[in-house]
Homo-oligomer: A and B are copies of this chain.
Amino acid sequence: MPKSKYLLIYKDLKQKIEEDDFQYQELLPSENSLIQTYNCSRNTVRRAISQLVEDGYVQTMQGKGVRNIYQPVEQTSYTIGGIESFKESSLRNHKKGRTEVLFFIEITADEKISRRTGFSVGSELYYLQRLHFLDEKPLIINHNYFLKEAVPGLTPEIAQGSIYDYLENELHMTIVNSKRVITVEKITQIDEKYLHLDVNAYNCMAVISSQTYNSDGVMFEFTQSRHRPDYFRFQDNAVRRRLA
């Protein structure tokens, strides 16, 4: 439940848009009238609207108004975007998720791991391999590296559930920021084995490599997420920045 005012307005407008209260291409009420509706200042409605712009829900036009450009996506495949745990994505996509821990060890970052992950040499890490099922179909293999000092007490049992749950609710850590790179890579034997892939059909995978920071500004996670190509779908909304 949001407690800040701009988030309440944001969520309310977002819901209205999703529920078709505004037609595609229709203008939303003007800022002034929203000020009346929500009994708040202009800055506050503008902040809510700017979030909707980031989401690709609306578009502002100086002198004209704010246009609804939301179009629902067909939910045939598993859609990702934003920072979400596998569990959260599963729920949003209305699928049943399950996670299997394939591998769990504690390691110290050497030169090679450091280059790959961005952790400094000598860092104490947990290294996990996890297999994610959606509706009992294996779709994703994750290679996770967690900084031990930031994620103390991680166990295979916890990793089988949601690690983000553990971080946020047990350790009260706040996940803030995630730098991601998407590439396409050749299938490895591990991929082939656990995802039951036929190399003749697809011989590569969608790979998301991400570095995640907590609210202390510490990078505490590096993850390489390898997705079955036929179920991979990454969604994004880009806003062209003004330069002048």
Interface residues of A (CB under 8 A from B): 1-4, 7, 25, 51, 53, 56, 59, 61, 67, 69, 71, 81-83, 118, 174-186, 202-206, 213, 215-217, 219, 229-230, 232-244
Q: How far is the CB of A147 from chain B (nearest CB, A)?
A: 14
Question: Nearest B residue to A10 by beta-carbon distance?
Answer: B241
Contact call B236/A7, Cβ cutoff below 8 A: no
Q: Which 7 A-B residue pairings sit nearest by Cβ, starting from the closest? A: A184-B229, A67-B217, A182-B234, A83-B240, A180-B236, A178-B238, A83-B238
Q: How far is the CB of A48 from chain B (nearest CB, A)?
A: 12
Copies held by the complex: 2
Option from B69, B71, B204, B242 in Cβ contact (under 8 Å) with A177: B69
Contact call B178/A7, Cβ cutoff below 8 A: no
> With the chains together, A179 CA to B53 CA distance in Å?
11
Contacts of A59 in B (CB 8 A): 176-177, 213, 217
Question: Nearest B residue to A68 by beta-carbon distance?
Answer: B217
Contacts of A82 in B (CB 8 A): 238, 240-241
> With the chains together, A86 CA to B38 CA distance in Å?
43
Contact call B184/A238, Cβ cutoff below 8 A: no
> With the chains together, A82 CA to B235 CA distance in Å?
13
